[in-house]
Amino acid sequence: MAVDLQALYPKLIHLMLDTVFVVDKDNQIVFVSDACKALLGYHPSELTGTAITNYMHPDDLAITQASIVRVMSGKPHIDFRNRYIRKDGSVVHILWAAFWSEEVGARIGVARDITALWQAESELHFLAHHDPLTELANRSLFSERLESALRGARRHQNSLALLFIDINDFKGINDVHGHVAGDRVLRLIAQRLKSCVRETDTVARMGGDEFTVLLTDIQSQDAVAAKVEQILEIMAEPLGADFGAIKMPSCSIGVACYPADGEDADTLLSHADGEMYRVKKQRSIVR
């Protein structure tokens, strides 16, 4: 018995888990498969005859228009990613494979929901660049941002400051109260440090009880001194009652400024580290 493939093809298209779109040269949707209900939340009849650009995330319109131009010039695009707004207002991340068909006079695209993949990639990227305990930038990300800040400072002839912070006597908290309690204190320290800086600045955990703060576009030495004083003040605030008998540890801060104390990352880090140890030694003498 012969199989009527021409009659079978439309049914096969509607069985696909990915969504098939056919869009004319004016960006009007002329056909969309049933999978669009799962992808965008719309029934095919709601999309047919409307502009596909109506559903694109506004922040992705420019890159999507560039992809459309590429496809309509005869160059298939099989690995394009963008975002659409679903009927319920949520955002879906989509991977596209599209080409222009001269025979049909339209571009044909197959869309796959990769929201879960995007979320997994984002989580992996975050874990690769952040400290898992405090969620601050880790040493690797801090180094990248410091190098980027130095390039910007050289280009615009700006200043920046690097603070190297060590938590005094932190080992005692772990020894007396345990590492779980110590981790809680470290998370609180991270929150307090972040509350002292702008979004353009960076707070990082370099490891153990050592932190760094990168302050960009510094206007004066007085501004740096004021920031150090602010950090010292907030770090001196007592812990809440839920911390029990644990006392908030103090900290020692070393400062290095570009370009006065160094013009490259290694020199600045070394200077700030040295200043931190000088402050810590002075503290022990006073005690």
Q: Domain holding 37: CATH number?
A: 3.30.450.20
Task: For residue 126, tell me if it sits in a domain.
Answer: no
Whole-number pLDDT of residue 16 = 87
Residue ranges making up the domain that contains 159? 131-286
Q: Which residues contact 224 (CB under 8 A, 6 or more apart)?
A: 161, 215, 218, 255, 257
Beta strands per DSSP E along 10-119:
19-24, 29-32, 77-85, 91-101, 106-113
The pLDDT value given to residue 220: 87
CA neighbor of 85 nearest in space, from 47, 121, 117: 47
Identify the pLDDT of residue 8. Answer: 58
Give the rounded distance of the alpha carbon of 23 from its chain centre: 34
**208 & 175 share domain:** yes
- Residue 248 per-residue DSSP state: P
Say if residues 30 and 47 touch (Cβ distance below 8 Å).
Answer: no
pLDDT at 7: 61
Would you say residue 140 lies in a domain? yes
- Tell me, what's the pLDDT at 6? 61
For residues 94 and 21, the answer to whether their CB atoms sit within 8 Å is: no
Residue 269, both tokens: 């880090």
Answer yes or no: do 46 and 145 share one domain: no
User: Does residue 260 sit in the same domain as residue 139?
Assistant: yes
Count of domains for the chain: 2
Partners of 108 in beta bridges: 22, 99
| 210 occurs within a structural domain | yes
Cα–Cα distance, 181 to 78 (Å, whole number):
51
Q: Do residues 167 and 279 share a domain?
A: yes
Q: Residue ranges of the chain with pLDDT lower than 50?
A: 3
Buried-exposed string 16-30: b where 16+ CB fall within 10 A, e elsewhere: eebbbbbbeeeeebe
Catalogue the active-site residues: 209
Residue 12's pLDDT is 76
> Which of 64, 99, 119 represents a domain boundary (last residue)?
119
What is the reported pTM?
0.79
Quick one: which of 63, 66, 65, 75 has its CA closest to 100? 75
pLDDT score for 144? 96
- Is residue 76 included in any domain, yes or no? yes
Tokens 């093809």 belong to 9
266 — phi, psi (to 5°)?
Answer: -60, -45
211 contacts 189 by C-beta, under 8 angstroms: yes
- pLDDT at position 286 is 55
Residue 97 to residue 76: CA distance in whole angstroms: 8
Sheet with 251-258, edge to edge strand ranges: 202-207, 210-218, 159-167, 251-258
CA proximity to 136, closest of 122, 126, 125, 149: 126
Q: Are residues 103 and 165 in the same domain?
A: no
